């Protein structure tokens, strides 16, 4: 691949963010453990996968500021965000793989002063496969080892994923 080219996947991603329409979205809200948490997730179909953009406000700060504010982030099976988010089911895992190889396992959010912005590309799912499911923010970072779900703490944010029609 010629990295000096004017056109790279990165340029296609930024064009998509600037001009494209997401294929799906989720309006994320907190529960009683994070009542100020709110934000949006957008899922764009690109090339051979999905570009995921997440912006979240009101993340709780950790007791130990030196530890940073990492939060587990996953797609869960069920699109039921009734607080306290107990009805979201397990991680989205259509191939029955061990954690962290679930299709719904995503990079952690890094909160800074209660705010997080994340943009990443994945080929683990497309918008059609996750529509009707939920995106979950956890209170702790995912350790990417503990079975079945990474020991990422309680669910503090949830958004049902809808098809974007707009």
Domains of the chain: which residue ranges? 20-163
Whether 99 contacts 147, CB under 8 Å: yes
What pLDDT tens digit does each residue of the chain (166 aa) get?
A: 455 566 788 888 988 999 999 999 999 999 999 999 999 999 999 988 999 999 999 999 866 555 568 999 999 999 999 999 999 999 999 999 999 999 999 999 999 999 999 999 999 999 999 999 999 999 999 999 999 888 999 999 999 999 999 7
- Compute CA distances 34 → 13, 101, 120, 136, whole Å: 31, 28, 24, 13
Fold classification of 20-163 (topology level): Immunoglobulin-like (2.60.40)
pTM: 0.91
């Amino acid at each position: 691949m010629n990295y000096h080219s004017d056109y790279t996947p990165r340029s296609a991603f930024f064009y998509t963010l600037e001009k494209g329409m997401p294929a799906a979205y989720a309006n994320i809200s907190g529960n009683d453990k994070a009542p100020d948490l709110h934000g949006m997730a957008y899922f764009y179909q690109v090339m051979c996968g999905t570009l995921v953009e997440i912006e979240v406000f009101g993340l709780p700060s950790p007791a130990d500021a030196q530890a940073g504010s990492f939060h587990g982030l996953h797609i869960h099976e069920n699109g039921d965000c009734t607080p306290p988010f107990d009805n979201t089911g397990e991680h989205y895992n259509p191939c029955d793989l061990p954690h962290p190889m679930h299709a719904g396992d995503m990079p952690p959010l890094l909160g800074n002063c209660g705010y997080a912005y994340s943009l990443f590309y994945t080929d683990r799912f497309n918008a059609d496969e996750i529509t009707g499911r939920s995106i979950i923010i956890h209170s702790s970072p995912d350790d990417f080892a503990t079975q079945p779900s990474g020991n990422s703490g309680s669910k503090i944010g949830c958004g049902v994923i809808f098809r974007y029609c707009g």
